[in-house]
Chain A
Amino acid sequence: MSTDADVHASQPPASDGLVMGKDGMAALVDVLIRRGFTVVGPTARDGAIVLAELRSADELPYGWGVELEAGRYRLRERPDGAAFANAAGPQSWKSFLHPVRVREWSADRVEGELVFTADQDTPPRYAFLGVRPCDLRAIAIQDRVLTGGAYRDSGYEGRRSGALLIVVECTEPGATCFCVSMGTGPAAGPGYDLVMTEVVDEDGHRFWMRSGSQEGAEILAELPTRPADPETRETARAGVTAAADRMGRTMPEADLRELMAGTLDAPRWDDVAGRCLTCGNCTMVCPTCFCTTTEDVTDLTGDHAERWRLWDSCFDLDFSQLHGGPVRASSRSRYRQWMTHKLGTWYDQFGSSGCVGCGRCIVWCPVGIDITEEAAALHDWTQSGTSASASAPEPP
């Protein structure tokens, strides 16, 4: 039987990765731009760390950390000058892979006949710089939803297939993070092209870099690096391990899928409905929420029409509209739909949880509703013995 130590010892030095100094980040961005990528990464703007197209590494949020709580997000300066020591911001990569608004096709009335034309815009080739492990999993989840079924969303597929993913492991989780509970971080899972771990100590500001694909290896080879020394590797690993021990939130120790399926009539839904504004912020910031609606428009001639697809939210009253009214009229049923889908029925539909533990829904909820707290309350209810006797009135 081999131990982890044996495995590491038996691998060639290249698998130990390389070390790149802070100034190598400028080279990385330059290499990506030269290779034709549109580089998107975090930058501090408008009081938040947002994702935006980067022209140079100078735009990265060096020296900015974040202070997170339920319903609260604040930037705060970090003396160590780290670029990636900040947890998830308000946006996620779905803003680029599954954009808010997309034209799907257009239709023209030509001599009485309808002619349909698919939208053929060539998407940019994105390089995502600074993808968190939780968000790497979120991308894999959206891949499954949008391209893993009988129908593939070809627009998503076009944007996704060209995208280069450069992951940064987490060393500074936020108070609202629970990726350990969801099994998505703080160490990077599979699917990246390059992965980096940021280290700032008395030996300097540097990144431990490993490649996960041929293209990632080629890019890494163009950067100013040196073989990774054991100290840097150990410090990087220790930073990630320590992050796992510093999660701000945890999910209850329960099978969440069963918990959701078994608590549809729990009184807790009324409690959360008393706080939920049904604003849909949680669905907008969630990196896996994928729901969309369609909008059909015509121009002034009346002979040209377009089909647009827009993000939608299950918190919107119109979302479940059928003739005769919405299926989910109460905020209780809408919050329940979102949470039970995310943590429960997502397994039935797409084979995994829909939650990656990034904590965005907690941070950006204007009234600070906390999905981990709600799950814990449902779990407590099932343990309290009152659940068995509760029975809801049947629908008419």
Chain B
Amino acid sequence: MSTVTPPLPYRVAGTWDETGDTRSIELVSAGRRLPPFAPGQFAMIYAFGVGEVPVSASALRGRHGGLVHTVRAVGAVSAALCRLRPGDGVGLSGPYGTGWDLEAAVGHDVLIVAGGIGLAPLRPVVHAVLDRQAAYGPLAVLVGARTPADLVYRDEIESWRGQARVEVTVDRPAPGWQGAVGVVTTLLDRLDLRPERTCALVCGPEVMMRHSARDLVTRGLAPHRIQVSLERNMHCATGHCGHCQLGPLLLCRDGPVVGYDRVADLLLVREL
């Protein structure tokens, strides 16, 4: 058991654009460091004087050896984080929450389904699976975005193609887009899914996760073999503020990654 303490001071080692409103930030510490993060776990990042937001690690080891987070500027804190420049200070605490259960995926085909910035918490999974390919069956990565301009990690996604089955789709194409158009679940038709051997990891907008998971169940995947990463408005990450409730779950503690079997019914209740 640990007590609630202030964040640790971290410094921005690098920051770069992912899309028009989304940036990645690599954070390093000159002094005490947080314990290692597992793929899918999140940090609370504090922008000085503005506030704190939960952000999943999008890479566990960046170019400078630091933690990488990908942030979309949607509120005051995330906008402040997107304005950070190398050398700026932030507060960091974590790791919090459940990570992706990669042990459950050992020996299985790994299917990653990501919508928009939902690819961020899944990217460390891709890295982990590619690092230990012998332990897993084939890897498939399905990525959906609203428009081509909203695709994060475009170059890196391309670099996975040799080692994984990669499919990308957009809801609305733009001039020059040669790829698929449609929601991410349409990409499932392109796979030779082996439902009894597959472990699926899904992250994106809640509506996208619900449809993806249900589609996968229809295709024969057992609900407990589908993991989803859920998002709520977390203020403390330590189970004390009450904001991240989804029915019986406190998502900072029981999530963000949960088995679809635990939440399938909850996700069907409006405004839960």
| A residues with CB within 8 A of B | 104-105, 107, 109, 112-118, 145-146, 149-155, 157, 264-265, 290-294, 296-298, 302, 305, 307, 312, 314, 319-324, 327-330, 332-333, 337, 340-341, 344-345, 348-349, 392-396
Contacts and interface: CB of A to CB of B under 8 A. Distances in A.
A265 B269 contact: yes
Nearest to B50: A296
A319 B243 contact: yes
Interface string B226-266: 00000111011011111101011110010000000000000
Contact of B253 (A149, A292, A329, A396): A149
A349 B9 CA distance: 32
Contacts of A312: 235, 241-243
Contacts of B247: 340, 345, 348
Contact of B243 (A112, A155, A291): A291
A105 B240 contact: no
B49 interface: yes
Nearest to B74: A323
B176 interface: no
Contact of A154 (B4, B89, B231): B4
Given A298-B49, A345-B245, A396-B207, A292 B268 contact: no
B3 A109 contact: no
B4 A152 contact: yes
7 contacts: A116-B91, A150-B253, A291-B241, A292-B241, A320-B243, A327-B232, A395-B269
Contacts of B46: 107, 296
Contacts of B210: 395
B62 interface: no
B178 interface: no
Given A150-B253, A152-B4, A394-B268, A292 B49 contact: no
Contacts of B4: 104, 151-155
B214 to A, nearest CB: 10
B268 to A, nearest CB: 6
B162 interface: no
**Which of B74, B75, B90, B271 has the most chain A CB atoms inside 10 A of its CB?**
B271
A264 B269 contact: yes
By DSSP majority rule, is chain B's interface helix, strand, loop, or mixed? loop
B177 interface: no
A118 B5 contact: yes
B272 interface: yes
A319 B242 CA distance: 9
B269 A105 contact: no
Given A153-B4, A329-B271, A333-B270, A305 B49 contact: yes
B6 interface: yes
A348 B248 contact: yes
Contact of B233 (A153, A322, A344, A394): A322
Contacts of A314: 242
Contacts, number: 152
Nearest to A257: B248
B51 interface: yes
A290 B243 CA distance: 11
Contacts of A265: 269
A394 B268 CA distance: 6
A187 B39 CA distance: 50
B239 A150 contact: yes
A112 B272 contact: no
A292 B89 contact: no
A105 B121 CA distance: 29
B240 A153 contact: yes
Given A152-B4, A349-B248, A292 B236 contact: yes
Contact of A294 (B7, B9, B236): B236
Contacts of B232: 320, 322, 327
B84 interface: no
A368 B114 CA distance: 47
Interface in B77-91: 87, 89-91
Given A151-B1, A294-B51, A395-B271, 13 more contacts: A116-B7, A118-B5, A149-B1, A151-B4, A152-B2, A320-B243, A323-B75, A324-B74, A327-B272, A329-B271, A337-B245, A344-B248, A392-B270
A114 B9 contact: yes
A155 B236 CA distance: 14
Nearest to B205: A324
Contacts of A393: 270
B188 interface: no
A107 B235 CA distance: 18
A78 B74 CA distance: 58
Contacts of A296: 46, 49-52
B233 to A, nearest CB: 5
B171 to A, nearest CB: 15
Nearest to A108: B48
Nearest to B93: A116
Contact of A264 (B242, B249, B267, B272): B272
B8 interface: yes
Contact of B90 (A114, A329, A341, A344): A114
Given A296-B49, A323-B75, A348-B248, A154 B240 contact: no
A117 B87 contact: no
A288 to B, nearest CB: 11
Contacts of A118: 5-6
A107 B272 contact: no
Nearest to A146: B240
Contacts of B272: 264, 327, 333, 337
Contacts of A293: 235, 241, 243
A69 B62 CA distance: 62
Closest 3 A/B residue pairs (Cβ): A348-B248, A291-B242, A333-B271
B71 to A, nearest CB: 11
